[in-house]
Amino acid sequence: MSLTPYQEDLGVLRFITAGSVDDGKSTLIGRLLYDSKSVLTDQLSALARAKHKRTAGEDIDFSLLTDGLEAEREQGITIDVAYRYFTTARRKFIIADTPGHEQYTRNMVTGASTAHAAIILVDATRVSEVEGKTELLAQTKRHSAIVKLLGLQHVIVAINKMDLIDYSETAFNAIRAAYLELAQRLGLQDVRFVPVSALKGDNIVYASERMPWYQDEPLLDMLESLPVAQTGGELRFPVQLVARQDGSHADDFRGYMGRVESGAVRLGQTLRVLPAGRNATVAEIVGPRGLLEEAFAGQCVTIRLTEDVDVSRGDTFVSADSGLEPSRKLAADICWFDEDALAPQRKYLLKQATSTVYVKVGSVDTVLDVSTLSHGTDKTTLAMNDIGRVQLSLQKPVAADTYDANPATGAFVLIDEATHHTVAAGMIRALAA
């Protein structure tokens, strides 16, 4: 029997909510979970009695469904990334509710790094008019720029709090036009718009009768229908751990554990081990339930090789005919997280896939001005939450791709060796030997 559209399994969609403080991100997710019948009865009872709720009487404060930290509930802001899971008849969802405050931009980057789509919230009551033009908040621009840098496939702009502006179509169209201009300047491709009231439930799960002028889908229908590009491409298998068993016996087992980040690996396939460049043949592929003939992207497996070659954590298996070569110089876009500014010529630790190497920041080429969206060349460092293009020199070569070609092997973080703080997240744009 053929499947109807509503029976079709569209897989898992990972998405984030982003935007400025008090745009209603947590409330929107809470309303989405509530209206899709994904909240348990005891959770609802607890929310109605919550001491930090900001609604009157028995009304539910939906933001408390995601604001789990006591500090978040006291202050009424989101600090950490909160993950929630729910399922509809059409697909499964993993939501990351990310902070809007500029101080916690690093947490927003963390949530967005594994997402397929972003819901950018815009508070319809907080946009301003500057010389006759609708002006978006700076944090809305910053989060949109990060979404572009991270290469998220889809952007849904939810223009929230429509109930506070009498569900005005004129106001919606003005904000839509302002964001379309921003999207064009950033290079965002698939951008959709929906007017919502997270508090009242308009256009979240059900179409709103108070906005008959809006003829498109409500938010949940949009999320259910978003296509998710499948991971393909060449084999990339970063080795996480070398597994040994019965090392003193003749039947010594030595396997290389990790996750297939892209492509596929087959029994008998000839691999090249990078960065050393040695070839070896796949003797066994062991999955959680036993031996496999083949493993695909996303699977965690152990690979045993026919030849005895030197392989350790941080090495990467690629196909023998791959053109990938190890790189020691990188051009990358980074978002700086630390309160202490970037110090060019200082050494940091770069963690990319499973490899960790020392790196020196050679220069800062450009820094994004969030207000004007221009790339300035007058700065020589990056302050907290700055986004810029930098040149990196590695102590030893790594097997990496550009972020556009393969996000799993094209992303990295920088770590301060003294404090062990993660000071930046980066996306590789160009490589050199």
Cα 170 to Cα 122: distance, rounded to the nearest angstrom: 15
In the prediction, which pLDDT does 69 show? 38
**Which residues, 6+ apart, have CB-to-CB distance to 226 below 8 Å?**
13, 116, 117, 153, 154
The pair of structure tokens assigned to 102 is 């500029």
In the prediction, which pLDDT does 71 show? 41
pLDDT in tens, 395-413: 999 999 999 999 999 999 9
User: What's the chain's average pLDDT?
Assistant: 85
Mean pLDDT of 181-202: 94
Look at the block and give the residue holding tokens 């690996």: 265
CA angle 409, 411, 415 (to 5 degrees): 120
Q: Phi, psi at residue 412, to the nearest 5°? A: -160, 170
Mean pLDDT of 226-251: 80
Give the relative orientation of helices 138-149 and 105-112 as an angle to the nearest 10 degrees: 40
Confidence of residue 101 (pLDDT cuts 50, 70, 90): low
In the prediction, which pLDDT does 41 show? 56
Domains, the chain, ordered by start: 12-225 (3.40.50.300), 236-319 (2.40.30.10), 327-432 (2.40.30.10)
pLDDT in tens, 15-49: 998 888 778 888 888 888 888 887 755 555 555 55
Amino acid letter, residue 388: G
Mean pLDDT of 278-298: 94
**pTM, rounded to two decimals:** 0.82
